[in-house]
Amino acid sequence: MVDSKDFILSSKFLELRLGSKDCLLVNFTFAENTGPIALPGSELFRITINNQPYSAADLLFAGGSFLPTANGVSHFAAFFDGPGFRVVQNFIIYPDSILLETWPVVHNTGSSEIHITRVDSYSFDLSRAEYGLLSFVSDWGKEFEPNFHPLSSQTSIETRFGHSSKGAHPWFALSRQGMVISGSVAWSGNWICRFEPLAGGAWRACGGLNDWNFAKDLHPGAAAEFPHCTLAFGGDLNAVSRQFAEIGRKYWYPHTSLSDSLPVEWNH
C-alpha cells in the first residue's frame, strides 16, 4: 500500500519509493512502463558484522533525511541500527536520468570493536523473467571481450587481483524483455557482482566490495564508507550507456579546459 509519508526519490524518468515505517523498498520503476525494476521488500544492502549477516529488513529503521544538494540532485540517507553499529545507506538520483547511485557507511556506535567481513552496497530482488547477463572479460595484455549467457543458476563476476579491471570489468548488463538493467562498481580494487536465484523464478542482484580475503575492524566511534555502486536502466544497451556517459560528464568527471574542449584523439 502506498503511504503519503513514504520517502520518494525521483527524476523525470525514475522513481524509488521507500516505506515510511521500515524504509524497505515499496516501488522502483522507470517511465518506459516495463513493470517494476525490483520487487517490494528488497533488502537494499547486505552486510556481515561479527559473523552475523544483516540487511535492511533485519535492522531497526531509525529515520532518514534528504541531504542538501545542488543542481536538482536527490540524495537520501537512511539510518539502520543494529547491535553496536549503524548503517547509513545512501541513495542518489540525478535529474533527467534513469540512474541510481547507492552505497553504505558503517558506524561503530558501541563500546567494543566490530568485525566486518562482507559488504554488498546494493541488493535488489528482480521479478521472475528470463534474463541474459552481459559482462566483459580480459587479462594482462588482452583486449576486453564480451561474455553473454542466459542466467540459469547462481552466477558471479568478480576480480580478486587488487585491480578493478584485471580479469573482468566492474560492469554488467542484465537484459529481459523490454528492459536492460546495468550496474557498475565504482571501486579500484577487488569487487563482486552476484546473481542469485530465488523462489518462484525471481533473482537477486547484489554486490560491491569483494568479500574474498576481506575483513575490517572498526573501533568504537569509527566509521567506514564502502564502494559506491551505480545502476542504470533503459529499453536497450544504448539507453543505459547514455546514462553513464551523460551523468559522468555532468557530475563525476573532473573538468579542465582540455577535457571540455573534447580534443580529437587517435588510438594507434
Ordered by start, the domain boundaries in the chain are 7-215+227-236
**Minimum mean pLDDT among 30-34, 46-50, 112-116: which range?**
30-34
Domain covering 7-215+227-236 assigned CATH 2.60.120.10 in the classification = no
pLDDT band at 142 (very low <50, low <70, confident <90, very high): confident
With 70 as the cut, is the pLDDT of residue 158 above it?
Answer: yes
Mean pLDDT of 145-157: 94
- DSSP, collapsed to helix, strand or coil, labels residue 233 as strand
- The b-or-e profile of 45-69 (16+ CB within 10 A means b, else e) is bbbbbeeeebbbeebebeebeeeee
More confident residue, 135 or 262: 135
With 80 as the cut, is the pLDDT of residue 265 above it?
Answer: no
With 90 as the cut, is the pLDDT of residue 181 above it?
Answer: yes
Please tell me the predicted confidence (pLDDT) of residue 170. Answer: 93
Mean pLDDT of 258-263: 78
> How far is it, in rounded angstroms, from Cα 148 to Cα 131?
11
> How far is it, in rounded angstroms, from Cα 203 to Cα 208?
17
Average pLDDT, the chain: 91
pTM for this prediction? 0.92
Please tell me the predicted confidence (pLDDT) of residue 267. Answer: 64
15 with 48: CB under 8 angstroms?
no
DSSP letter at 68 equals P
With 90 as the cut, is the pLDDT of residue 63 above it?
Answer: yes
Per-residue pLDDT tens digits for 220-248: 999 999 999 999 999 999 999 999 999 99
